[in-house]
Amino acid sequence: MIRGGRLAGSPADAAAAVRGTTAWLLDMDGTVTLGEDALPGAADFFAALARRSPAPRHFFVTNNSSHGTDHYLRRLARAGLPAAREQVATSTDALSTWLRGRPEVRGRAPVLYPVGTPDFEAELEAAGCVLVREKGRSVDFVAVGFDTTLTYAKLDAACAYIRAGVPYAAANPDKVCPLEGGAVLPDCGCILAFLRTCTDREPEVVVGKPSTAMVDALVASRGLDRATTAMVGDRIYTDLAIAHGAGLMSVAVLSGEATLAEIEASGVQPDLIVDGIGDLAGLMG
């Protein structure tokens, strides 16, 4: 199924827009992959890209801050979709960039209390951040990610820091992470809800989608043209919202979180709605 949003009316209009796209920003979970496997049609999409001359560029843009870049490279390779490191952008990358650029820590490494997985912590440390894991230390920020290793002790310490006046910053706002069979995991947005409830304070920033931080960085570093770049994803409040905010063509897939009814009722109208990423291959000709 292919439905138009602002491209409504003619399948030829949709095909022309897809063929004119020079760069694709691709969400991963629910769009290209589900768990460790490629979604049906993903291989067709990448094969269609390779057949075009010149081949459009593509980048994987993920809000999932529970894993590091190396994990995503391995996952893509196992799924038969190999990628280079420069093709993967994570919300943890965007968070570390934001933290290191803050005026209050300029010229030194930011000191953080992390609420995240070992991968999240390793990515922050590799980016030059200093982590502490106890209460009662002097820290610049509490850094929050999608933490599948979450404990009450972590939440307690994070809340103690925040209630004492330490600002907190988050990698992503996702409420759930989709799994096979329609199951979901509570994501970073659920952890933020806990912290807000306990502290009555909002995060200083949530850098992942729908914040345009990752897209802005890719546009600047890779020389992308926003007018011919498309964002493909399955979530209304992250993938579709970032496309609108960053001035990109928005393509919604129905292979992940959002249903057609939810998209139509959301007020965030995508340019194109397809059942899955493989439908785009047919539009490329």
Q: What is the pLDDT of residues 34-60, one digit of tens each?
A: 878 899 999 999 999 999 989 999 999
| Predicted local distance difference test score (pLDDT) of residue 10 | 61
Q: What is the pLDDT of residues 213-270, one digit of tens each?
A: 989 989 999 999 999 999 999 999 999 999 999 999 999 999 988 999 999 899 888 9
**Residue 179's pLDDT band (boundaries 50, 70, 90)?**
confident
- Residue 281 one-letter amino acid: A
Residue ranges of domains in the chain, CATH in brackets = 2-63+209-284 (3.40.50.1000), 92-206 (3.40.50.1000)
| Predicted local distance difference test score (pLDDT) of residue 3 | 58
- Contact 239/27 with Cβ under 8 angstroms? yes
**Residue 15's pLDDT band (boundaries 50, 70, 90)?**
confident
Query: Mean pLDDT across the stretch 71-98?
Result: 94
